[in-house]
Amino acid sequence: MHKQQLIDHTPALMRIVDKYQDGEDLCHFTFAPFNEGESLNKDEMPDLCNINKVQPGQFMMLTIPNAGEAAFTYASMPDENGHFHCLIRKIGELTDALFELEPGAMVGGRGPMGQGWPNLKDKKVLVIAGGCGLAPVAAKVDALIEASAEPVVYFSARNEAMLVMKKERERWQEQCKLYEAVDDCSGASKSYLAGRQLADNLDQIIQDDGPFDHVITCGPEGMMLAVCRIMEGKGFPADHIWLSLERRMHCGVGLCGHCYMADHLVCVDGPTYRWDQLGELVVKEKAIRAPESPLDMGHAASNCGEEKEGCDGNGGCGCR
């Protein structure tokens, strides 16, 4: 039973600091407190921009004037000035309106919300992401690097053009071990691992860089299910596998019930889950689809969290 309390739904004012294209119909946005020029101290910083209040893996609700509100994951932790990033796919009326805005425009935000990734700073972690599922794990990769935990990252997409977050990946190549894979290598500017050979790729990574203490994964649900089954098949304990779910989160605070999954509210109890806690539940609920053959490690074609244009809300495009 979830105890509801009086909750202030008033968004905090933010402004867009920067934006740049980061793939087809994808844009990388930087947000900041609207009044950051007033030299806010940490106690005055809105919670969703406060480095001491946000955890990697959490999400926030973004309000666009005259367009509505939707959930998006943090692609970076807020810095000391409250600046943070989101990777957002253009799909639906709200993101259409957002993409029309230029740096300096005012928007609103609530958060942080949900449960973040566990603290694994002293552990050897393998991070496995597919498509835009890289965004929800990006802040955790940075946190592990900062903690000198030396994470290993495996990132796969349908083709080279869909390998998002280029700036972050270029930085990670200098800071940790990064594997990149694509399903379609035709026309690629360099060699990649074969994206459809997930099991073989993981075998090689474990042989070269393992053993690992924990696995974190985010992406299309078929991919995450395949990762969980492959790792369990290798004897990896289910309680050391973590994944992030994406559901239609209309309120973000457990009031509307749109993200109910059995007796769980994904916006409050998730979006990050441990596989042993989630596995039986999601299979029973048929919330995770079995991977099709051949396995597609790329991003689902229409799975943004916005429901206005027919999205099923179960993808990994960075919105929640």
pLDDT at residue 36, as a whole number: 66
Contact 247, 261 (CB under 8 A): yes
pLDDT at residue 40, as a whole number: 60
Model confidence band, residue 215 (pLDDT cutoffs 50, 70, 90):
very high
Which CATH architecture fits 12-113? Beta Barrel (2.40)
Average pLDDT for the chain: 85
Rounded to an integer, the average pLDDT of 267-283 is 82
pLDDT at residue 311, as a whole number: 42
Residue 299 has pLDDT above 90, yes or no: no
Residue 5 has pLDDT above 50, yes or no: yes
Question: What is the Cα–Cα distance from 225 to 230, expressed in whole angstroms?
Answer: 9
pLDDT above 70 as % of the chain: 83
Q: How many residues can be counted in the chain?
A: 320
Domain ranges of the chain: 12-113, 125-287
Q: How many CA atoms lie within 13 A of 284 on its CB side?
A: 8
Contact 303, 92 (CB under 8 A): no
Model confidence band, residue 315 (pLDDT cutoffs 50, 70, 90):
very low
pLDDT at residue 76, as a whole number: 97
* DSSP codes of every residue in the chain: -PPP-----PPEEEEEEEEEE-STTEEEEEEEETTGGG---TTTS-GGG-TTT--TT-EEEEEETTTEEEEEE-SS---TT--EEEEEE--SHHHHHHHH--TT-EEEEEEEESB-----TTS-EEEEEEGGGHHHHHHHHHHHHHTT---EEEEEEEEGGG---HHHHHHHHHHSEEEEEEEE-TT-SS--EETT-HHHHHHHHHHHH---SEEEEESSHHHHHHHHHHHHHTT--GGGEEEE-----SSSSSSS-TTEETTEEHHHH-BEEEHHHHHHHHHHHT-SPPPPSS---S--TT--S-TTTT--S-S-SSB-
Instruction: Find the angle CA(69)-CA(62)-CA(103) to the nearest 5 degrees.
Output: 120
Q: How far apart are the first and last CA of the chain?
A: 23
Of the two residues 171 and 122, the one the predictor is more confident about is 171
CA 77 to chain centre: 12
Dump pLDDT digits (tens) for 104-131. 999 999 999 999 999 998 899 999 999 9
The domain 125-287 having CATH identifier 3.90.1150.10: the answer here is no
pLDDT at residue 220, as a whole number: 92
Strands 68-73, 59-64: parallel, antiparallel or unpaired by DSSP? antiparallel
Phi/psi for 47 (5° steps) reads -55, -40
Residue with tokens 């106690």: 43
Dump pLDDT digits (tens) for 70-116. 999 999 999 999 999 999 999 899 999 999 999 999 999 999 999 99
Residue 134 has pLDDT above 60, yes or no: yes
Query: CA nearest 131: which of 293, 244, 297?
Result: 297
pLDDT at residue 37, as a whole number: 61
pLDDT at residue 4, as a whole number: 54
Dump pLDDT digits (tens) for 40-59. 666 678 999 999 999 999 99
pLDDT at residue 255, as a whole number: 79
- From the number of C-beta atoms within 10 Å of its C-beta (0-12, 13-18, 19+), residue 146 rates as exposed
Give pairs for 140-143: CB < 8 Å, separation 24+: 140/56, 140/57, 140/116, 140/216, 141/168, 141/172, 141/176, 142/56, 142/76, 142/77, 142/168, 143/56, 143/77
Rounded to an integer, the average pLDDT of 249-265 is 79
Specify the range with the lowest mean pLDDT, choosing from 50-59, 105-114, 177-186, 246-255.
Answer: 246-255
Is the fold of 12-113 the same as that of 125-287? no
Strands 264-265, 241-244: parallel, antiparallel or unpaired by DSSP? unpaired
Query: CA nearest 217: which of 235, 204, 192, 198?
Result: 198
Q: Which residues contact 263 (CB under 8 A, 6 or more apart)?
A: none
pLDDT at residue 301, as a whole number: 37
pLDDT at residue 280, as a whole number: 65
